[in-house]
Amino acid sequence: MAKILIKNVELNGEIVDVLIENKRFKKIAPKILENIDNAQIIDGTDKAILPPFYNTHTHAAMSLLRSYADDKELFDWLQNYIWPLEAKLTPQDVYIGSRLAFLEMIKSGTVFACDMYWHQLETARAAEEMGIRVAVGEMFLQSTPELNEMNRKNNIELEKLRGKSELVEIMLDPHAIYTVPKEILKTVAEKMKKEDFRLTIHASETPLEVENCFTEHHISPIAYLESLGLLTEKTVLAHCVHLFDDDIKVIRDTGAVIAHNPVSNMKLNSGRFRFHDCLEAGCNITLGTDGACSNNNLSMLDEMKFAALSAKSQYSSPTAGKDVDVFKIATVNGAKAFDIDAGEIKEGKLADAMLIDLNNHFMIADYKLISNMVYSADSSVVDSVICNGEVLMLNRKVRDEDEIIREAKKCCASLKNR
């Protein structure tokens, strides 16, 4: 296995060397000299090492649709713009769009994405080629007969991939309660329990979703999901913008994970997630970007700042959405939610990390590193990225990035003609 030695890097205010071996942090100490034969040496001078980001809700290949249908109401946006164009996407389009998305994620310090999209095999292929972690799911969504059949076939193929890659997790992806009938949701719940799957679903995202759920089922979307057996510690609930007090208690007690998407929520005017209330209740909160069509980038740095500021605004308090809390949900909480033994720079942990350029203008003054990361930084501060003990970006350069961008531009030009 490859060894990596990061020399003279700042960790928790001290200058140390970091030795990575067998995909884990083997040793962290000043001046490591032993066990460095054949190691790749990385100069960490004027850099800090931090845990990277874990994006717990996105639609990677939507990077191809960035700016396509901005400033629309959510259901108008989905039904009249996004879904019709998505129906024209080919597997190769999704592969190209996923590579573009993963390039953007790596450039901004992200090493994992929980992805919900079509042609999932292509997303998994792109992730493995680029060395980034991804969770892709068997899609459940009632649509046209053609799309339903495509999903059925894709789901069969995804089953074959389960457990075959240390970078790719196969999960279950029922889209939402308004696109998946009750009987199918029950079947998904049984499959989740019987075969020990993780699951992600859009939940309580809009007032209309909540209103329709009360009209049809006489309970909230969260209570409805619980009634179907869909809430466990392996459930990831995307958005959760409109929660009642009882919903928060149910989420906490079941151990379900919240994937908070503040930028997308604000752009689509879906509402504001009750960050402080869920944090105080002890809910497991993580952070996601949603897709580039509703964000419009995949930077978790932006997501952290919006999460902090939206919480402060919502609660009329400068002490809500504290930098340390927001950084935690973007890093270690996301890793834990997907049972990835990472999210911390610590001996024995899987070697996921990012190196931060401390000479970048956004990082000066340097009174508090985490504060600068949450409130000041953009992707230009991320110098290098390591995932699963492999270097994905070194000195701001990702392998094949020029080719990835070139192919994505060609694909977008083709989509315009469709």
User: 334-346: per-residue pLDDT in tens?
Assistant: 999 999 999 999 9
Residues 302, 361 share a domain: no
pLDDT at 53 over 80: yes
Alpha helices, DSSP H only, in 241-390? 245-254, 262-267, 275-281, 300-315, 323-330, 332-337, 369-375
Residue 407 domain flag: no
Task: Determine, yes or no, domain membership for 103.
Answer: yes
Same domain, 134 and 23: no
Q: Give the structural domain span for 255.
A: 53-337
pLDDT recorded at residue 289? 98
Please give the share of the chain, as a percent, with pLDDT higher than 70: 100
pLDDT of residue 182: 97
Instruction: Give yes or no for residue 241 having a pLDDT over 90.
Output: yes
- Asked if pLDDT for residue 163 goes beyond 60, the answer is yes
Helix axes 145-161, 120-130, angle to 10 degrees: 40
Residues 40 and 58 occupy one common structural domain: no
Amino acid 183: pLDDT:
96
Q: What is the mean pLDDT of residues 403-412?
A: 98
The verdict on 175 and 215 lying in the same domain is: yes
51-66 average pLDDT score = 98
The verdict on 247 and 287 lying in the same domain is yes
405 assigned to some structural domain: no
| Terminal Cα-to-Cα distance of the chain (whole angstroms) | 46
Q: Is residue 266 part of a domain?
A: yes
Residues 158, 25: one domain?
Answer: no
Supply φ then ψ for residue 367, to 5 degrees. Answer: -70, -35
pLDDT tens by residue, 263-288: 999 999 999 999 999 999 999 999 99
Give the CATH number of the domain where residue 193 resides: 3.20.20.140
Q: Are residues 198 and 169 in the same domain?
A: yes
Distance between CA atoms of residues 224 and 213, nearest Å: 8
User: What's the pLDDT score for residue 73?
Assistant: 85
Rounded alpha-carbon distances, angstroms, from residue 308 to 113, 124, 284, 337, 375: 21, 32, 16, 21, 8
Looking at the fold, whether 178 and 326 belong to one and the same domain comes out as: yes
What pLDDT does residue 75 have? 82
Beta-carbon contacts of 371 under 8 Å, excluding residues fewer than 6 positions away, are 323
Give the pLDDT band of residue 1 (cuts 50, 70, 90).
low
Last residue of a domain, one of 292, 318, 337: 337
* Domain match, 47 and 74 both: no
Query: Is 261 domain-assigned?
Result: yes
Average pLDDT over residues 130-144: 94
| 413 inside domain | no
Residues 330 and 378 placed together within one structural domain of the fold: no
**Is the model's pLDDT at 35 over the cut of 80?**
no
Residues 165 and 78 occupy one common structural domain: yes
Res 189 pLDDT > 80 = yes
Residue 134 within a domain? yes
Report the domain count for the chain.
Answer: 2
Choose between 131 and 144: higher pLDDT: 131
Task: Please work out, in degrees rounded to the nearest 5, the angle formed at the alpha carbon of residue 15 by the alpha carbons of 362 and 385.
Answer: 55
pTM: 0.97
Q: Are 276 and 207 part of one and the same domain? A: yes
What is the rounded radius of gyration, in angstroms, for the C-alpha atoms of the chain? Answer: 21
Average pLDDT, the chain: 96
Q: What is the mean pLDDT of residues 254-258?
A: 98
CATH code where residue 27 lies: 2.30.40.10
Q: Is there a domain that residue 390 lies in?
A: yes
